[in-house]
Structure 1
Amino acid sequence: MTEEVKNSPIADFDWEAYANGETKGEKTREELTKTYDESLNTVRDKDVIEGTIIALNKREAVVNIGYKSDGIIPMSEFRYNPDIKVGDTVEVFIENQEDKKGQLILSHRKARAARSWDRINEALEKDEVIKGYIKCRTKGGMIVDVFGIEAFLPGSQIDVKPIRDYDIFVGKTMEFKVVKINQEFKNVVVSHKALIEAELEQQKREIIAKLEKGQVLEGSVKNITSYGVFIDLGGVDGLIHITDLSWGRVSHPEEVVQLDQKLNVVILDFDDEKKRIALGLKQLQPHPWDALDANLKVGDK
Structure 2
Amino acid sequence: SHKALIEADIEIQKREIISGLEKGQVLEGIVKNVTSYGVFVDLGGVDGLVHITDLSWSRINHPSEVVELDQKLNVVILDFDDKKTRIQLGLKQLSQHPWDALSADLNVGDKVKGKVVVLADYGAFIEVAEGVEGLIHVSEMSWSTHLRSAQDFVKVGDEVDAQILTLDREERKMSLGIKQLHPDPWADITAKYPVGSTHNGIVRNYTNFGVFVELEEGIDGLVYISDLSWTKKIKHPSDFVAVGDKLDVQVLELDVENRKLNLGHKQTQDNPWDAHEATFTLNSDHEGTVKEKTDKGAVIELPGDVEAFVPARLLEKEDGSKIGKGETAIFKIIEFSKEFRRIVASHTATFKEVEAKNIKAQAKKVESSEKSTFGDIAGLADLKKKMEGK
Normalised by the length of structure 2, the TM-score is 0.41
Which of 273, 281, 288 is residue 178 of structure 2 equivalent to? Answer: 281
Residues 278/259 of structure 1: CA separation in 2 closer, same or farther (3 Å cut): same
CA distance in 2: counterparts of 1:180 and 1:245, whole angstroms:
42
Match of 2:43 in 1: 146
Q: Percent identity of the aligned residues?
A: 21
Residues 117/157 of structure 1: CA separation in 2 closer, same or farther (3 Å cut): farther
Which of 143, 163, 167 is residue 247 of structure 1 equivalent to? Answer: 143
Which of 105, 112, 124 is residue 217 of structure 1 equivalent to? Answer: 112
Residue pairs, 1:152-191, within 5 angstroms? 152-168=49-65, 169-171=67-69, 173=71, 174-184=73-83, 186-191=85-90
> Which structure's relative contact order is higher, taking Cα pairs within 8 Å and 6+ residues apart?
1
Residues 285/132 of structure 1: CA separation in 2 closer, same or farther (3 Å cut): farther
Please state whether the residue corresponding to 2:98 is helix, strand or coil: helix
Which of 165, 183, 206 is residue 268 of structure 1 equivalent to? Answer: 165
Match of 1:14 in 2: none
Please state whether the residue corresponding to 2:108 is helix, strand or coil: coil
Which of 187, 192, 203 is residue 91 of structure 2 equivalent to? Answer: 192
CA distance in 2: counterparts of 1:279 and 1:241, whole angstroms:
8
CA distance in 2: counterparts of 1:125 and 1:289, whole angstroms:
58
CA distance in 2: counterparts of 1:160 and 1:272, whole angstroms:
16
CA distance in 1: counterparts of 2:167 and 2:115, whole angstroms:
19
CA contact (8 A) 1:238 1:277 kept: yes
Match of 2:125 in 1: 230
Normalised by the length of structure 1, the TM-score is 0.51
Greater CA radius of gyration, 1 or 2?
2
Please state whether the residue corresponding to 2:53 is helix, strand or coil: helix
Residues 135/114 of structure 1: CA separation in 2 closer, same or farther (3 Å cut): farther
Residues 275/151 of structure 1: CA separation in 2 closer, same or farther (3 Å cut): closer
CA contact (8 A) 2:80 2:88 kept: yes
Alignment length (residue pairs): 192
Please state whether the residue corresponding to 1:233 is helix, strand or coil: strand
Extract unaligned runs of 5+ from structure 1.
Answer: 1-44, 47-93, 96-108
TM-fit CA distance, 1:215: 0.8
* 2:10 is equivalent to residue 115 of structure 1: no
CA distance in 2: counterparts of 1:226 and 1:160, whole angstroms:
24
Residue type at the aligned position of 1:227: Y
Extract unaligned runs of 5+ from structure 2.
Answer: 200-390
TM-fit CA distance, 1:199: 4.6
Residues 295/176 of structure 1: CA separation in 2 closer, same or farther (3 Å cut): closer
CA contact (8 A) 1:161 1:222 kept: no
CA contact (8 A) 1:124 1:177 kept: no
